Chain A
Amino acid sequence: MRALKFAALAAAAALVGIGLASAAEAPPPPQKNWSFDGLFGTFDRAAVRRGHLVYKEVCAACHGVKLLAFRDLQRVGYSEGEVKAIAAQVEVQDGPNDQGEMFKRPGRPADRFPSPFANEQAARAANNGASPPDLSLMTKARKGGADYLHALLTGYGEPPKGMKAMEGLQYNKYFPGQQIAMPSPLNEGQVTFPDGTKATAEQMSLDVTTFLAFAAEPELEDRKRLGVKVLLFVIVLTGMLFAVKREIWSALH
């Protein structure tokens, strides 16, 4: 009987492992070592700052991160003063005022990152009919998460023989369908990092992915820090409960 049970469990394990290959699907993105992976993961502060710069100078022309507030940046080491200065760089529509009119004012830490287009129609009109998605949740909203995002940003190249990308689309082997409307966004030397890091396409992609992972899960560090404590607690508690159970049942056995 034990053998039969074992066989059942083995079959279950095998089922989980079987992947179904399908020709149309993109290759799995290569796995990277992210600073925010693992039980003790935190966002690499320097990478977030560089990624923020890449986002601001490259991505923000077309993509918003509308769920992220400027004050969230304090969670990854920006000072209050820095956050105020960053927020003040943008203009935010507010109102109506006493005269009933809408007005523009400098951004405040509680404001969210402004989106580049007023609405989806404006975004499509400016981008050949394609709407650049908001990036607030990108690492959570795609299979493969951060690995996929990095693979996509650096996955442009010449299409294989016999395939030609359609008018206005680029070949990208990691994009589902292999044809993407976004032109290859990152080129070497496109930004100048104040910390002296060389701005290769690979580096910029890793950094902006770290920034977007933070944008998607600003609670990640709090979550993991609390999680380690909570798990240690329940594991010790469970050990003690096991001892109690054994003690109580010892009279019966």
Chain B
Amino acid sequence: MAAVQWKNPVIKWIDYRLPIFTMVHHDLVDYPTPRNLNYWWNFGSLAGITLVIMVLTGIFLAMYYTPHVDYAFESVERIMRDVNYGWLIRYLHMNGGSMFFLAVYIHVFRGLYFGSYKAPRELLWIIGVFILLAMMATAFMGYVLPWGQMSFWAATVITNLFSAVPLVGEAIVRWLWGGFTVDNPTLNRFYALHFLLPFVILGLVGLHMWALHVHKSNNPLGIDIKSPSDTIPFHPYYTAKDMYGLGIFMTVYLFFVFFAPNFFGEPDNYIKANSLVTPAHIVPEWYLLPYYAILRAITFDIWFIPAKLIGVIAMFASILILVLLPWLDRSPVRSARFRPLYKQFFWLFFVDCLILGWVGANPPDAMLMGKISLLVIGQLATLYYFAFFLVIVPLLGIFERPKPLPESISAAVLKPGAAE
């Protein structure tokens, strides 16, 4: 790719010293992109845009929010009632969290389906897993800030998980709290970290993009780019496609903001935090429910290891196992389109995650149709979750017979005899 010749003298002067225009041209305009990306590939940029919306709305909220146990709840209500368009900024931020996770989860499942985690994109994938972890920490701490009942009790439940660590558990929990219970120091540090972590995420996103642009996007066929005819320039083709996808995404997002702003929330969080009254059901936000189900599925000790500790390990392992996925999956074929068995187990896995989320949303002692314990369903779903990664995927790499791969992207996509 030849270097761009800039005509405007100012741009030319700057670009000679800091080639920022060349970089943008290289990575956003000329950037060669597989010509066959489908709409599932929209969700990466959608997640990125949502992150920017979250940072911007968050900064304006921070100008009015008071991180003190006596004022936090009231300061949020002040934003809702007295700050000009404060309700809009807060509802954008609140629902933006859910939309961010929605976009990212679709992005992750797309990566799982089309094998985007395989060589040479392992690091790209692993950075993505860390982005997901950082998002969860950020979302959890942000949920604590309004200092409602769910804020307080979620903070209590989640920080107490660390008490499962042998020997030093209790000390760690007191250190996290900055005291002997969830209190003002906890709220203050969560606020500081909730402000900091999005910038860590932005940094990780930068690395994610860097790694992406080395080997370029995967594609629905999962085969490498072999010749220039396999690709099209990012602009105008994918800028146009991404903008159209953004329009649909914003329509859904803004519908919730204006007409169902508390759809994803819990009514209990409009009751101010009270350490003396425990809510009937403590539930996390929807995007953390599957992990909550995995945590609660472990109700049995193994040898000398208490159930609580195993539950906590299982919960963290359920995400960290994604880091190992590029090496657990030995199949040389990326896309599930050519992996008839993997495709079926993938969709089972997808449904399994939904089941885990549903189990996590309900009280652990609930019964399905009065007969089947939700606990057992949660345990079976947890079993499948881990079996998928540790047993099914490795075995498929050995025993599955993939369908023949097309010769190239252009050969598969372009009609025979088409110009190019």
A residues with a Cβ closer than 8 A to B are: 1, 4-5, 7-8, 11-12, 15-16, 18, 20-22, 39, 67, 69, 72, 133, 136-137, 140-143, 145, 176, 216, 218-219, 222-224, 226-228, 230-231, 234-235, 237-238, 241-242, 244-245, 248-249, 252
Contact = CB atoms under 8 A, between A and B. Distances in A.
B351 A227 contact: no
A236 to B, nearest CB: 9
A10 to B, nearest CB: 10
Nearest to B367: A20
A163 B381 CA distance: 40
A228 B257 CA distance: 11
CB-CB nearest 3 A-B residue pairs: A227-B258, A238-B247, A141-B270
Contact of A4 (B88, B254, B344): B344
Given A12-B354, A143-B267, 4 more contacts: A219-B81, A222-B87, A223-B87, A238-B250
Contact of A20 (B35, B248, B267, B362): B362
Contacts of B251: 231, 234-235, 238
Contacts of A22: 363, 366
A241 B241 CA distance: 8
B244 A242 contact: yes
Contacts of B354: 11-12, 15
Contacts of A228: 258
Contacts of B363: 22
Interface of B is mostly: helix
A235 B290 CA distance: 33
Interface residues of B, number: 48
B280 interface: yes
Interface of B: 35, 74, 77, 80-82, 87-88, 91, 232, 236-237, 240-241, 243-244, 246-248, 250-251, 254-255, 257-259, 261-262, 267-268, 270-271, 280, 343-344, 347, 350-351, 354-355, 358, 362-363, 366-368, 370, 374
A249 B413 CA distance: 14
21 contacts: A1-B343, A11-B351, A15-B354, A15-B355, A20-B362, A67-B77, A67-B81, A218-B81, A219-B87, A222-B87, A227-B257, A227-B259, A231-B258, A238-B244, A238-B247, A238-B250, A241-B240, A245-B241, A249-B237, A249-B240, A249-B241
A234 B81 contact: no
A69 B244 CA distance: 43
B80 A219 contact: yes
A248 B173 CA distance: 56
B93 to A, nearest CB: 15
Nearest to B347: A8
Nearest to A10: B351
Contacts of B271: 133, 137, 141
Contacts of A141: 267-268, 270-271
